[in-house]
């Protein structure tokens, strides 16, 4: 991912929030909370991944939910446990439980949702800032 001179997209180095590619062949594009993040979507990035040999069996497009102010920001919002087919998500303005359920049904995952706040009582906006998952461990 890269930024362009105009419009400036300072978070363009994090495409994992607007698109994910899964071993089962799912390609998912996500609704983003910040209008500036929506500008990061790039067919060129998707085309590059496909040209490099990724085979997409099914594209799941969720970005139309932005018009309804419903958001689910990729692997910022979701920690996927592929082995156990679980999708962990810390609910916030950027992580909608119902949209997560819809995605999980399409992909054959079970959602595991929870709430978390920081030391000031503010919602933690992304799951991946407070949780990491390895093959034999989890970090909270």
Task: Give the per-residue SS3 of the chain.
Answer: CCCCCCCCCCCCCCHHHCEEECCCCEEEECCCCCHHHHCCCCHHHHHHHHHCCCCCCEEEECHHHHHHCCCECHHHHEEEECCCCEEEEECECCECHHHHHHHHHHHCCEEEEECCECCCCCECCCHHHCCEECCCCEEC
User: Where do the structural domains in the chain lie, given as residue ranges?
Assistant: 15-139
pLDDT in tens, the chain (140 residues): 456 666 666 666 678 999 999 999 999 999 999 999 999 998 999 999 999 999 999 999 999 999 999 999 999 999 999 999 999 999 999 999 999 999 999 999 999 999 999 999 999 999 999 999 999 999 99
Q: What pLDDT is stored for residue 123 in this prediction?
A: 94
CATH architecture, domain defined by 15-139:
5-stranded Propeller (3.75)
């Amino acid at each position: 991912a890269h930024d362009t001179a105009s419009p400036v997209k300072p978070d363009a180095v994090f495409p994992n929030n607007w698109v994910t590619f899964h071993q089962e062949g799912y390609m998912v594009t996500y609704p983003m909370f910040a209008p500036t993040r929506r500008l990061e979507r790039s067919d060129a990035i998707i085309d590059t991944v496909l040209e490099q040999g990724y085979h997409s069996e099914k594209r799941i497009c969720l970005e139309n939910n932005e018009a309804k102010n419903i958001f689910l920001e990729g692997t910022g919002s979701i920690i996927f446990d592929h082995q156990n087919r679980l999708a962990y998500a810390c609910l916030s303005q950027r992580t909608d439980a119902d949209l997560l359920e819809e995605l999980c049904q399409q992909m054959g995952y079970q959602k595991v949702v929870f709430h978390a706040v920081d030391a000031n009582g503010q919602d933690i906006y992304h799951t991946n800032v407070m949780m990491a998952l390895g093959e034999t461990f989890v970090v909270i």
